[in-house]
Each structure stands twice: as C-alpha cells, then as structure tokens.
Amino acid sequence: MKKRIAGLLLFCMCMLCTAGIVPMALASPETEQDAFDCVMMIPIDDVVELGLSSYLERNIARAEEAGADVIILVLDTPGGRVDAAQDMKRILYDTDIRTIAFVKDQAISAGAYIALCCDEIIMAPGSTIGDAEMLINGERADEKYLGPWREEFAAIAEDKGRDPEIAKAFVDRDIAIEGVIEAGKLLTLTPQRAVELGMADGMVEDEQALLEAIGAQDARMLYGEMNGAEKITRFVTNPNIAPLLLAAGILLLAIEFVTPGVGIFAIAGIILLALYFGGHMIAGMASWFALLLFIVGIILCFIEILVPGFGIFAVGGIGCIVGSIFLTTPDVITAVKYLTIVLVAMAVCAPIILKLFSKSKLFDRLLVRERLTTEEGYVAGRQEQAEYIGAYGIAATTLRPSGAVELEDGTRIDVVTRGEFIEKGEPVQVVNKEGTWLVVEKRRK
C-alpha cells in the first residue's frame, strides 16, 4: 500500500514537472517575440562610398535613441570604397544592438566585408556573397594593399565565429581550400553553400520572412531614411562621379579665364566645384584647408593670366590645386587618377568647346561683359569690326589668347589669337573676324 502511494506521489510530481515544462517550451517563441519591441531596417544599396557611412551612422544613432532591439542591414551592393567600408565597420562595432545582414541580392567586395561585420548573416534565394579582391584602377592590387585587406577579412570572420580561411578566399585568388575553392579563383558563395560552410546563418525568402524567423513580425518598425544632404554626398563622392565633377569645374573656370567678363562658365564651374568639395567635406574626406588651398591655387592662376609673372604664379597655383586634390582622396593612386582625368578633359574638351562656342551667338549672350564706352577708347558696336581687318597696332594687354589691342589710331579693341601667346607691347595685325571676335597675329618684321 505504501509502495502504491509512493508511486502515485512520484507520478503526480512528474506530471506537475511536465506540465510546467511544456507550457514553457510552447511559450518560448512568444517570449522571443516579446523581446523584439523595435526593429530598425536600413537599406544598403548601390556603390559603397563615404556618404553611405554617414547615413549608416545617423540611422544607427536613431535606432539607439528609439531603443531598437535589432538592426537589419538589407544589402544589395556591388562594393565600392575600402575606406568607406572600414568606416562602416567601426560604426557597426560601436553599437551594442544586435545586427543582422540580410543579403537581398548581392554582397560583393566591400558589401561582403560589411556583411561579415554583422552578428548574423541571412541570405535570400538567388543572392551571392564574396568576390572581395581589392582593385586599383581596374587592376589587382599588389601585396602591400591586398595583404592587410585579406587579413582584416580573416580577423572579422574569426571575431564573429566564422571560418577565417574562407573569408581570406573571398579576397585572395591564390588561396586554395580543398572541397571549397581551387587556386586562381575568387570565392563567391550562394546562400545554400554559405550556410553549409558556416559563412551564413540561414536563408529566407524576403524581409518579412526574416522578421517572422526571428520572432519580430509584430515589432515596431523603423526604416533607414536618407536625407537630402546624404543623397548629394553619396552622388558627389561616388568614385565614378567625383573626378568628372572636378574635371568639369576646372575646365569651365579655365574657359572663363580666356574669355572677357564674368559669365555662365564661371558660375557653372563654381557650382560643380562647390559640389565636389562640399560633398567631400560633409563625408569627412576633406577639410576646410583643402578647399582653401584650391581657392588659393585658382587665384594664383588668375593672377598669372592678368599679370605675367614668368610662370611663378602659375606653378604655385597648379601646385596648390594638385595639393587640394590629394587632400580629398584616400590615397595617392586615386589622386593621380583624378588628376589624369582633369588633364585629359582639359586637353581634349577645352579646344573643342572654345571652337564651337566662339562661333555661336548663344555664347556671346551667355557672357556678362563689362560695359565698354567710347570715352575709354573702346568700340561699342560689333557690326563695324570687319573694317579693322588688316589694321596694325600693339598688344595693350598680354594675349592668352584673348585680350585688348590698341590700334595705330588709338582705338582699343577686344581680340583673340589662334592660340598664340603674345606679350604686352608686341606689334600685332588684325587678320580675320571669327564670329564676334577679331583675330590677331604677331606682326612679322
């Protein structure tokens, strides 16, 4: 009897324990769901540049202020700037909030680096991750740059509990891993393969499926927003756009320098250069000193045009401009690339633009010329210019190639040369009229 009572008591105790355990097990998803009161979802798409890092930093700060429990980076990027990715790593490492990288389409190169910096990686069907070889001007970087980049991948993977050798294979094609990748090929992984190798933590269909998988489908959602300044910054710091802005701005100012008055070319050039330097300053890539150095360079070049200084002002001005470009780029190679684009643009585009616009009436209307009065010895009308063809005079200013000439009868006229440099005081002759310009040549003795 006692044994039966003891057995019954033992059975009841087991039932009570089981009754307590089962509801706890069933409630565990509910408990996990309650833990996610707020989720921040931040899209990271297109090219990775420094404007993107400021956007990420601002939105993570928003997440921290709102008390978000998890931050989801929705990645769809072909890569971009190494320095921008490294800055984003710092931002991700600085936050205490759990981070998840959701590879929606591709996380290539710098995108793979950003994904590895997150606590978890989830991939969508059809997405890819890897192929992070460092390229400089389209060519594979040498070991000086490739080595630190490779080891940084390995260190991040190791810190996040992933295989550092596989992470190295993302970067270095010389690495061979049996059953994974052979030497001579860069490693890029599909979702299933990434999960098998431990480089990803799971695969879901879309963002909503991800929220359900982590039990956050009913959480309050915050979404990363890009403000106007960040959009402009991303555009002007794009490595494909920035050198073009710089080249176009300098080209327009150069054209303005060889045309009289202050016109549309100066205004357009200043706007483009303001976008270039302003965007780089907002992104933290340049300081006020870089902008000041560029302005000083432009002023020195302008002084050389107005007051011949035997090239001293020109050399100083060019040196300042080159220095300012170096201060807005992450490395010497990028600076050289930007300078090359500027020089090619100047050499190819400047003569073409001057030739086309010098014959255009629109060009003459766009220029805001100072008022030239007959009391000061100038000729007001353009319709009578043809009568000066064949006339002799002397260069009243240095012609580079535009300037003023004083004819033998004392009349002062605006002229251009055919690219010839003529010092002030040199004898000249008016040889032709092209559009609204009188063309002169140095008078041969």
Indicate the SS3 state at residue 320: helix
Phi, psi of 153 (to 5 degrees): -60, -45
Residues 6+ away with beta carbon under 8 Å from 302: 257, 317
pTM, to two decimals: 0.61
pLDDT value for 171? 94
Considering the four listed CATH numbers 3.90.226.10, 3.40.50.300, 3.30.470.20, 3.20.20.70, the one that applies to the domain covering 32-226 is 3.90.226.10
Q: Report the distance separating Cα 38 and Cα 70, nearest Å.
A: 7
Indicate the SS3 state at residue 367: coil
Looking at the chain, the number of H-run helices and the number of E-run strands are: 15, 15
53 HSE (CA, 13 A, CB side): 25
* Tens digit of pLDDT at every position of the chain (445 positions): 444 444 444 444 444 343 333 332 223 333 344 467 899 999 998 888 877 888 899 999 999 999 999 999 999 999 888 888 999 999 999 999 999 999 999 999 999 999 999 999 999 999 999 999 988 767 788 888 899 999 999 999 999 999 999 999 999 999 999 999 999 899 999 999 999 999 999 999 999 999 999 989 889 999 988 877 777 777 887 778 888 888 888 888 877 766 655 567 778 888 888 888 887 777 666 778 888 888 888 888 777 666 655 567 777 888 888 888 888 887 777 778 888 888 888 788 767 766 665 555 445 544 444 444 444 444 444 446 778 888 889 998 888 778 889 988 888 888 888 777 888 888 998 888 876 678 888 887 6
pLDDT value for 75? 96
Q: Report the distance separating Cα 71 and Cα 25, nearest Å.
A: 27
The ranges assigned to domains in the chain are: 32-226, 230-365, 374-442
CATH fourth-level superfamily of 374-442? Nucleic acid-binding proteins (2.40.50.140)
CA angle 417/422/423 to nearest 5° reads 150
pLDDT value for 307? 62
Which helix (H) or strand (E) covers residue 129, if one does? strand 128-130
